[in-house]
């Protein structure tokens, strides 16, 4: 059976050319338009989409203290956006459990081109200051330009959340605010995976390694990752919430996200020693074992090496460790590659990318993992064709990344990360979508290592050329979420989303509505089927015979009306106002949702994008 793994949050496809991402303001205005308006009016910007109120801070608890929202000019005399370049020391954690985000920001400062995309440098507190700033994040295969005002939560004129070691510098605090706005609130940033933020800063693809079960060349993998500009994080697992952010005797913190900032080898007493540099986003609390800042090991290596490696040893929170000690103390390593190149290969590759967005809908496509064989087959299925092996090889390299969308923003509604995973099957050449019996009698070729409640699950595989079936799922059936699938392959792969079929069980469940309607000669798209399932299925996702007949009769009438209006048989009609009035007479609007659903089905069938009433 599938294994459930709970992720306890601890606290380049190549970058597109520098430019503006998609605008996110509700009024559709750009950063430049808003700033110009403020300058012309002589007013400082106040963001109506993320106001300076308690709801922007917390959604599940009362504000613990009396916060004041202050602009940087009210906190210090001469505020600066960036002072002397953005560095790792500009990120110090405040009173929010978002160390995972700060570890990613620390890694971001090591990559100048990436940093300039996320943190545009065309803004400051001097020329053109209007109390407005903007930042860019990757979200679900799109770059978003997020605008914020510069009012920051304070207590007694001290920033409550992220702040710089230099109290006149504010880029990191404003970046955190923009990310909080993107996700709905500051509280939405509590707990997470460093890889999540790394991907939002780069659009890259993540990989995770467990140090206790890592490949023998892990050090080489990390070294190549640093050389190729990848962003890296690490953490120590906890066994209970009581261990969260508990400090060990060696100065390390459990359940806490760190960033990896360097990988080196040095000559020590006649042999090579592998070292790794780690940073605590707290800006303090460091490893106190061998190769720590003031340890005796540094006194026995070449002075030039010591100077090179310890030139910034005063950076609080950053330290070196011997790689063996690192593996013994840390449990997980997260790597966000800016390209999909394997860190085990010596040659960079040009990767092809396939994308698909989909969703799991209760009563329709939310079948759960293979443990639930009666509904597993109803999950979305994707046909993947691998035709061309890697250069000089008989196998095809492929990375599958399954990402669930908007889950942090949905925390306000009581929802959180779903537990997700996927399986890949060898597909028969003569069939596309597979039913229950196929999955009952055929095991997966490969699959995600476990089901985990993280935003993204990704795996790298090497498969023979052929046809495959990719099935993304939640762990439990009937759990709803939207998702994005990214397929990275060295050579172009074919990818097709398959429609749903029947398990021929004779049971009239909402999951089989498509096949029942097909048998009646009615071919409907997924959106309409989901609406019909919403209307006719009960709480157990079953449809009784009377409701099924009602559905058939009403759909038949709808088809007749449409066909009568589609005199030229083009599959598209246009209506004048009088015809719309007749339509409303045919579908009387009442207080129940049934009429609205049927109206929406009409509009979908007639290629309308939205309801004219709403």
Which sign, positive or negative, has the C-alpha torsion 228, 278, 416, 190? negative
Quote the CA–CA distance of 402 and 458 in Å, as a whole number. Answer: 6
Backbone angles phi, psi at 29, to 5 degrees: -80, 150
**What is the bridge-based pairing of β-strands 158-159 and 205-210?**
unpaired
CA 376 to chain centre: 24
| Residue 472: closest CA among 583, 375, 605, 358 | 358
Is 336 among the catalytic positions?
Answer: no
Q: Are 403 and 455 in contact (CB under 8 A)?
A: yes
Residues in the chain: 614
The one catalytic residue in 92, 99, 336, 551 is: 99
The one catalytic residue in 183, 280, 329, 453 is: 280
Quote the CA–CA distance of 455 and 403 in Å, as a whole number. Answer: 6
Enter the tokens of residue 93: 């954690």
Enter the tokens of residue 452: 């985990």
Task: Quickly list H helices, 191-340.
Answer: 194-202, 218-227, 303-309, 323-329
Classify 212 as helix, strand or coil. Answer: helix
Is 256 among the catalytic positions?
Answer: yes
Is 280 among the catalytic positions?
Answer: yes
Helix 545-565 × helix 593-605 angle, to 10°: 40
Q: List, in sequence order, every beta strand (DSSP E) within 289-412.
A: 318-322, 332-337, 352-360, 381-386, 396-404
Enter the tokens of residue 411: 């925390």
Quote the CA–CA distance of 473 and 481 in Å, as a whole number. Answer: 10
Enter the tokens of residue 211: 């140090």
The one catalytic residue in 7, 38, 256, 369 is: 256
580: left (phi over 0), alpha (psi -120 to 50) or beta: alpha
Which residues, 6+ apart, have CB-to-CB distance to 530 below 8 Å? 361, 363, 364, 365
Which helix or strand (DSSP H or E) is residue 68 part of?
A: strand 68-70
Longest Cα–Cα distance of the chain, Å, equals 92
Quote the CA–CA distance of 401 and 195 in Å, as a whole number. Answer: 13
Which helix or strand (DSSP H or E) is residue 206 part of?
A: strand 205-210
CA 508 to chain centre: 36
Which positions are annotated as active-site residues? 99, 256, 280
């Amino acid at each position: 059976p599938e294994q459930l793994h709970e992720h306890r949050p601890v606290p380049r496809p190549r970058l597109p050319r520098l430019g503006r991402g998609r605008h996110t303001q509700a009024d559709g205005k750009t950063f430049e338009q808003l700033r110009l308006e403020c300058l012309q009016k002589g007013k400082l910007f106040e963001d109506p989409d993320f106001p300076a109120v308690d709801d922007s801070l917390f959604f599940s608890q009362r504000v613990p203290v009396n916060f004041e929202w202050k602009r940087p000019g009210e906190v210090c005399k001469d505020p600066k956006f960036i002072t002397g370049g953005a560095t790792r020391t500009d990120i110090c954690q405040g009173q929010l459990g978002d160390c995972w985000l700060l570890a990613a920001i620390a890694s971001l400062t090591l990559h100048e081109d990436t940093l300039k995309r996320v943190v545009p440098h065309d803004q400051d507190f001097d020329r053109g200051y209007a109390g407005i700033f903007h930042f860019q994040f990757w979200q679900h295969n799109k770059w978003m330009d997020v605008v914020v005002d510069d009012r920051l939560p304070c207590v007694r004129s001290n920033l409550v959340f992220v702040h710089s070691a230099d109290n006149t510098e504010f880029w990191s605090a404003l970046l955190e605010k923009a990310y909080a706005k993107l996700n709905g609130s500051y509280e939405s940033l509590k707990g997470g995976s460093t890889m999540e933020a790394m991907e939002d800063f780069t659009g890259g693809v993540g990989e995770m390694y467990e140090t206790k079960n890592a490949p023998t060349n892990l050090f080489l993998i990390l070294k190549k990752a640093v050389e190729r500009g990848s962003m890296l994080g690490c953490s120590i697992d906890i066994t209970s919430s009581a261990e969260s952010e508990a400090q060990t005797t060696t100065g390390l913190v459990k359940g806490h996200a760190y960033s990896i900032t360097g990988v080196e080898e040095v000559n020590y007493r006649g042999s090579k020693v592998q070292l790794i540099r780690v940073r605590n986003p707290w800006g303090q609390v460091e490893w106190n074992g061998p190769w720590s800042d003031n340890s005796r090991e540094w006194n026995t290596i070449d002075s030039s090496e010591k100077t090179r490696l310890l030139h910034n040893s005063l950076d609080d929170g950053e330290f070196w460790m011997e790689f063996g000690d690192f593996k013994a103390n840390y449990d997980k390593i997260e790597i966000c590659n800016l390209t999909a190149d394997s860190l085990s290969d010596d040659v960079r590759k040009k990767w092809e990318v396939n994308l698909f967005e989909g969703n799991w809908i209760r009563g329709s496509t939310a079948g759960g993992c293979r443990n639930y064989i009666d509904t597993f087959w109803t999950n979305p299925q994707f046909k993947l064709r691998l035709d061309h092996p890697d250069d000089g090889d008989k196998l095809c390299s492929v990375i599958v990344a399954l990402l669930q969308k908007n889950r942090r923003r949905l925390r306000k509604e009581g929802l959180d990360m779903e537990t997700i995973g996927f399986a890949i099957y060898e597909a028969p050449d003569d069939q596309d979508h597979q039913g229950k019996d196929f999955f009952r009698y055929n095991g997966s070729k490969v699959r995600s290592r476990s089901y985990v409640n993280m935003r993204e699950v990704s795996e790298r595989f090497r498969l023979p050329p052929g046809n495959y079936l990719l099935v993304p799922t939640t762990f439990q059936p009937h759990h709803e979420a939207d998702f994005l699938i990214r397929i990275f392959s060295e050579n172009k792969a074919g990818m097709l989303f398959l429609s749903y079929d029947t398990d021929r069980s004779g049971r009239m469940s909402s999951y089989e509505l498509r096949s029942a309607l097909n048998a009646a000669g009615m071919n409907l798209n997924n959106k309409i089927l989901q609406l019909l399932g919403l209307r006719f299925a009960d709480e157990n996702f079953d449809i009784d015979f009377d409701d099924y007949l009602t559905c058939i009769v009403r759909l038949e009438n709808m088809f007749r009306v449409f066909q009568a209006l589609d005199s030229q048989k083009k599959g598209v009609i246009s209506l004048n106002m009088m015809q719309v009035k007749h339509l409303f007479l045919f579908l009387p609007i009442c207080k129940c949702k049934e009429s609205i659903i049927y109206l929406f089905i009409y509009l979908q069938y007639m290629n309308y994008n939205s309801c004219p009433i709403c």
